[in-house]
């Protein structure tokens, strides 16, 4: 018997600048774990937010147990038996576990009937081996425990359909295995689970059915038994487009950047880089492939001086730049296009002028003895806009009003105009349309052909394969393999991205 | 259901219209309150207006009250623009007054008037800056929230002042009142116009505003402040030292609050006492806020508040209205002015449906 508990038909969600979901149809069966697989920006989270009532779809229908429903708010979703476990936990840290679990529930009284709650907790523990200590405060618990609290919260509200958004992103491998055991028990109990992830390994381990999303569309739905990791990897990243930039390889044997045993901690205190060794040759384009969250961001931010090195050394052009000030590093000739434009690349509410001069505002002629020359700054911005075809109607308007492509062009121009010896481009084409993407790739090839060195970080395997001379693959804070791009194929890289050794 | 919707862009004229409308609404509510007490609101408002702006002397008193407000606000703007919340102008003002009074009371012999005043100005700025830098370093090294520390240091400053006034610095001939000896003539700021209490302090204030305006709009420091205020991560990425700028900003902010304290004791009070108008330090926070953190607008807003304060103060003498009524009007107007700022970034919408 194949009972469909949840179905979407042609769900479309259009945001002012992008189409996040396009005609998404999928079916969730009773008692299955259904993985939604896709890269960042593939539209997974948007879809889930629609199911949970945070967004309303522009078009399309949702059916629960065969009934057509409209989900206007999370309250509606809960009433329909849908529970969501967010990537970032929604817990009140200063309350106890028990208080968090019943937060917002009326049936346990104004003075909480703790005995009734504890009885229900026992029941949940018996069914799913989900055990928590009810009387401790949430801030005293570990991340793994907090996730259990979130799951219990959802079960307490009678959810039959559980949505987990990247649940393993914050867990240790042991905690992940623990979570999987719980998920299997819930499945055996007849609950249906949507598991959002971009980790192939986990999909193969836990899912029954897999739906692959790419660029807001369903690419394919297939049972786990009939697929392989490398097939999934290819479905995720798409087919290779032919790319005819004329790359004249210019790399030398001389090492321009040498990284030895680099260890870096994340803000949470876990190791995000676990002893990275890497030599970059002068004149090459080195692609760094990997599924996001495996240390690529930390690696390039550390090179740019934005993260503290715990162990190891970074030598650039013979100069030790370990733990040096970001400006010292950029003046030595390392420039960096950050992964997240709005979070780091620009000051969004300031004008395009202010943003365009960020790298050189402190130098003559833009400033002299501590005084800015904004006339020169305006001229510089206009020159930049012209040379890089940035559509800049009003350079005094906040830069956040520019389109993503134009903003990214301005960042690229700002960094290239510093005439760097090494340019680090982190996800340079993420979220851009085809024309801007082509423009970017063209520019990168152009400056590499002039003998500059480039480190290119991307999740887009096609981009990495078509632009790079050499490709390094990162997995869990390490470089697991490095190969010549001409000898590389997508399959091998895909597997390495999923953790297989070279 | 009523709900707020974020505005995509804010028309420039809103920045003028919204405060005017909210000021009017505040005055109307205030009028109702006054009417309930049984006083004709028109008399009260007319009284405030004529006591604040009605004559040259009245206006000079308004400027006297505006002087410390302008000085403090100009400093607060610098740090507020970096999203650093200095709530401690009250204490920094007191420290400025104490530091400069020390020289006036105990080290005045042999100094000419200009030299004495220069010493007092500098010492007051150092005193205010020190008081502002303590919480700054706590913030930078141990991430202690500056809102709490600056606020708590206000009380410490007040108790230091009280200790001095009841103890070592007390004037033995004050019949038990907590105040110091009167400053020597060399330690008193010259009056600008005969027959008024308006001193060169107002000139300090106007020059300060110009300097701060220049710093914010034209200097490299101002550029860095802008970037830090909008996106500290982008600032770090651009190689801007966030901590260094916060230290400089807090030092400026504390120094100007300290200077305000000096202009008050040296220009108006002429001795040190417990009541030296440190409340300006709190009013200035609101003045900074309704000035949109713009130094030039600050002058206007400070004169408005100075007028309300001095006009209201004289009102209790001329009309025998309790100062409480004036305080009430002042609070309602402030509340309305600050509250209405939400309409700059949001608009009210009506949504059908229950969810």
Q: Give yes or no for residue A39 having a pLDDT over 80.
A: no
pTM over 0.90: no
Q: Give yes or no for residue B311 having a pLDDT over 70.
A: yes
Closest CA to A361 of B72, B234, B354, B307: B234
Render the burial of B147-160: b for 16+ CB within 10 Å, e for the rest.
Answer: eebbbebbeebeee
CA nearest to A358 within chain B? B238
Residues 304-343 of A with CB under 8 A from B: 304, 306, 325-328, 330, 336, 338, 343
Alpha-helical runs (H) found in B183-241: 201-218, 220-230, 232-237
CB atoms within 10 A of CB A487: 9
Q: Compare CB distances from B236 to A72, A306, A370 and report the shortest one's residue.
A: A306
Q: CA A40 → CA A36, A163, A166, B283, distances in Å?
A: 12, 17, 11, 48
Render the burial of B202-236: b for 16+ CB within 10 Å, e for the rest.
Answer: bebbeebbeebbebbebbbbbbbbbbbbbbbbbbb
**Structure confidence at residue A170 (pLDDT):** 67
Tokens of B40: 């004709």
Longest dimension (CA), chain A: 79
Q: Please compute Rg for chain A using Cα positions.
A: 25
Contact between A238 and A214 (Cβ < 8 Å): yes
Write down the domain spans for chain A. Answer: 4-237, 256-333+421-502, 348-419
Q: How far apart are CA A94 and CA A138, in angstroms?
A: 6
Q: How far apart are CA A69 and CA A72, in angstroms?
A: 10
Q: Residue A461 — pLDDT band, cuts 50, 70, 90? A: confident
For chain B, the average pLDDT equals 90
Interchain proximity B239–A325, CB inside 8 Å: yes
Q: Residue B355 — pLDDT band, cuts 50, 70, 90? A: very low
**Structure confidence at residue B346 (pLDDT):** 79
Q: Residue B351 — pLDDT band, cuts 50, 70, 90? A: low
In CATH terms, the fold of domain A4-237 is Rossmann fold (3.40.50)
Tokens of A82: 């849908």
Kindly report the nearest CA distance between residue B244 and chain A, in angstroms.
13
B chain contacts of residue A75, beta-carbon cutoff 8 Å? 355
DSSP structure class, residue A249: -
Instruction: Answer whether B231 touches A (CB < 8 Å).
Output: yes
- Upstream peptide bond of A9 is cis (omega within 30 degrees of 0): no
Contact between A81 and A64 (Cβ < 8 Å): yes
End-to-end CA distance of chain B: 9
DSSP A476-491: TTEEEEEEEGGG--HH
Q: How far apart are CA B109 and CA B312, in angstroms?
A: 40
Q: How far apart are CA A405 and CA A436, in angstroms?
A: 6
**Structure confidence at residue A411 (pLDDT):** 94
Count of all residues that appear for chain B in the document: 355
Tokens of A298: 């930390």
Q: How far apart are CA B311 and CA B51, in angstroms?
A: 4
Q: What is the pLDDT of residues A328-369, one digit of tens each?
A: 999 999 999 998 888 899 999 999 999 999 999 999 899 999
Reported CATH class of domain A256-333+421-502: alpha beta
Residues 392-431 of A with CB under 8 A from B: 401
Q: How far apart are CA A425 and CA A477, in angstroms?
A: 19
For residue A409, what is the enclosing H or E element? helix A404-416
Closest CA to B256 of B221, B229, B284, B228: B284
CB atoms within 10 A of CB B330: 19
| β pairing state of A285-289 and A470-475 | parallel
Q: What is the mean pLDDT of residues B278-284?
A: 92
Q: What is the mean pLDDT of residues B176-188?
A: 90
**Structure confidence at residue A372 (pLDDT):** 94
Interchain proximity B237–A76, CB inside 8 Å: no
Count of all residues that appear for chain A in the document: 502
Q: What is the pLDDT of residues B283-310, one digit of tens each?
A: 999 899 888 899 999 999 999 889 988 8
**Structure confidence at residue A158 (pLDDT):** 86
DSSP structure class, residue B189: P
Q: How far apart are CA A217 and CA B174, in angstroms?
A: 85
Q: Give me the sheet containing A271-281, strands edge to edge.
A: A271-281, A255-265, A311-316, A319-320
Q: What is the mean pLDDT of residues A429-435?
A: 70
A chain contacts of residue B230, beta-carbon cutoff 8 Å? 347-350
Q: Give yes or no for residue B354 having a pLDDT over 50.
A: no
Q: Give yes or no for residue A490 having a pLDDT over 80.
A: no
Q: Compare CB distances from A330 to B226, B235, B239 and report the shortest one's residue.
A: B239
Q: Compare CB distances from A344 to B221, B233, B239 and report the shortest one's residue.
A: B233
Contact between A271 and A265 (Cβ < 8 Å): yes
Q: How far apart are CA A64 and CA A343, in angstroms?
A: 38
Q: Residue A174 — pLDDT band, cuts 50, 70, 90? A: confident
Interchain proximity A362–B226, CB inside 8 Å: no
CA nearest to A340 within chain B? B234
For chain A, the average pLDDT equals 87
Instruction: Answer whether A147 touches B (CB < 8 Å).
Output: no
Q: Please compute Rg for chain B using Cα positions.
A: 22
Q: What is the mean pLDDT of residues A145-150?
A: 88
Q: What is the pLDDT of residues A419-431, one digit of tens each?
A: 999 999 998 887 6
CB atoms within 10 A of CB B3: 9
Query: Do A256-333+421-502 and A4-237 fall under one CATH topology?
Result: yes
Q: What is the pLDDT of residues A228-263, one digit of tens each?
A: 887 887 787 775 544 556 777 766 788 999 999 999
**Structure confidence at residue B352 (pLDDT):** 59
């Amino acid at each position: 018997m194949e009972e469909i508990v949840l179905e979407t038909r042609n769900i479309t969600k259009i945001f002012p600048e992008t189409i996040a979901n396009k005609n998404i149809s999928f079916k969730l069966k009773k008692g299955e774990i259904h993985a939604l697989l896709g890269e960042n920006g593939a539209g997974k989270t948007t879809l889930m937010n629609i199911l949970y009532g945070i967004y309303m779809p522009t078009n399309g229908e949702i059916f629960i147990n065969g009934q057509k429903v409209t989900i206007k708010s999370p309250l509606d979703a809960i009433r329909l038996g849908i529970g969501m476990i967010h990537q970032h936990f929604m817990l009140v840290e200063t309350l106890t576990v028990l208080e968090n679990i019943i937060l917002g529930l009326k049936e346990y009284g104004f003075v909480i009937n703790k005995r009734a709650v504890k009885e229900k907790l026992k029941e949940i523990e018996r069914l799913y081996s989900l055990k928590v200590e009810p009387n401790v405060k949430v801030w005293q618990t570990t991340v793994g425990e907090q996730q259990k609290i979130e799951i219990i919260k959802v079960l307490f509200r009678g959810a039959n359909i559980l949505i987990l958004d990247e649940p393993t992103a914050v867990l240790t491998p042991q905690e992940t295995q623990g979570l999987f055991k719980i998920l299997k028990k819930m499945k055996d109990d007849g609950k249906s689970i949507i598991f959002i992830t971009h980790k192939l390994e986990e999909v193969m381990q836990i899912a029954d059915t897999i739906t692959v999303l790419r660029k807001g569309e369903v690419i394919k739905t297939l049972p786990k038994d009939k697929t392989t990791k490398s097939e999934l990897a290819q479905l995720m990243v798409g087919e290779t487009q032919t790319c005819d930039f004329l790359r004249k390889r210019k790399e030398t044997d001389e090492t321009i950047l040498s990284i030895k045993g680099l260890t870096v901690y994340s803000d949470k205190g876990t190791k995000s880089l676990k002893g990275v060794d890497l030599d970059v040759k002068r004149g090459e384009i080195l692609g760094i492939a990997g599924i996001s969250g495996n240390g690529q961001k930390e690696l390039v931010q550390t090179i740019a001086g934005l993260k503290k090195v715990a162990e190891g050394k970074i030598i650039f052009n013979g100069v030790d730049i370990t733990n040096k000030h970001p400006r010292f590093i950029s003046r030595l000739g390392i420039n960096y296009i950050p992964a997240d434009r709005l979070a780091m690349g620009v000051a969004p509410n300031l004008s395009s002028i202010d943003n365009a001069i960020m790298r050189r505002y402190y130098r003559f002629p833009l400033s002299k003895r501590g005084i800015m020359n904004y006339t020169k700054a305006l001229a510089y911005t206009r020159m930049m806009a012209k040379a890089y075809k940035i559509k800049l109607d009003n350079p005094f308007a906040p830069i956040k009003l520019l389109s993503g492509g134009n903003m990214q062009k301005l960042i690229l121009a700002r960094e290239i105009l510093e005439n760097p010896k090494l340019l680090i481009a982190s996800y340079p084409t993420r979220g851009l349309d085809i024309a801007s993407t082509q423009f970017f790739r063209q520019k990168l090839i152009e400056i590499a052909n002039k003998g500059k060195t480039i480190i290119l970080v991307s999740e887009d395997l096609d981009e990495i394969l078509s632009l790079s001379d050499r490709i390094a693959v990162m997995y869990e804070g390490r470089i697991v393999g490095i190969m010549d791009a001409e000898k590389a194929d997508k399959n091998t890289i895909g597997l390495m991205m999923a953790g297989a050794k070279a | 259901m009523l709900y707020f919707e974020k505005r995509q862009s804010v028309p420039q004229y809103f920045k003028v219209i919204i405060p005017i409308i909210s000021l009017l609404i505040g005055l109307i509510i205030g009028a109702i309150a006054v009417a309930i007490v049984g006083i004709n609101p028109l008399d009260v408002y007319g009284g405030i207006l004529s006591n604040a702006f009605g004559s040259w002397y009245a206006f000079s008193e308004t400027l006297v009250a505006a002087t410390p407000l302008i000085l403090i606000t100009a400093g607060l703007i610098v740090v507020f623009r970096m999203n650093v919340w200095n709530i401690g102008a009250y204490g920094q003002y007191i420290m400025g007054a104490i530091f400069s009074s020390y020289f006036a009371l105990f080290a005045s012999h042999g100094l000419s008037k200009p030299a004495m005043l220069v010493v007092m100005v500098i010492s007051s700025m150092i005193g205010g800056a020190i008081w502002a830098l303590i919480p700054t370093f706590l913030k930078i090294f141990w991430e202690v929230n500056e809102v709490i520390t600056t606020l708590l240091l206000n009380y410490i400053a007040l108790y230091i002042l009280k200790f001095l006034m009841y103890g070592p610095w007390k004037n033995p001939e004050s019949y038990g009142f907590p105040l110091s000896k009167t400053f020597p003539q060399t330690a008193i700021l010259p009056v600008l116009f005969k027959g008024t209490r308006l001193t060169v302090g107002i000139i300090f204030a106007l020059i300060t505003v110009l300097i701060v305006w220049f710093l914010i709009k034209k200097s490299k420091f101002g550029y860095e402040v802008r970037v830090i205020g909008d996106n500290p991560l982008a600032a770090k990425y651009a190689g801007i030292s966030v901590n260094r700028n916060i230290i400089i900003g807090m030092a400026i902010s504390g120094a100007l609050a300290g200077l305000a304290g000096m202009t008050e004791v040296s220009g108006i009070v002429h001795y040190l006492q417990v009541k030296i108008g440190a409340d300006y330090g709190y009013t200035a926070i609101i003045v900074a806020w309704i000035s949109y953190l713009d130094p030039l607008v600050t002058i206007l807003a400070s004169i408005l508040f100075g007028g309300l304060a001095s006009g209201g103060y004289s009102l209790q003498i001329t009309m025998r209205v309790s100062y409480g009524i004036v305080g009430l009007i002042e609070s309602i107007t402030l509340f309305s002015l600050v509250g209405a700022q939400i309409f700059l970034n949001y608009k009210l919408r009506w949504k059908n449906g229950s969810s």
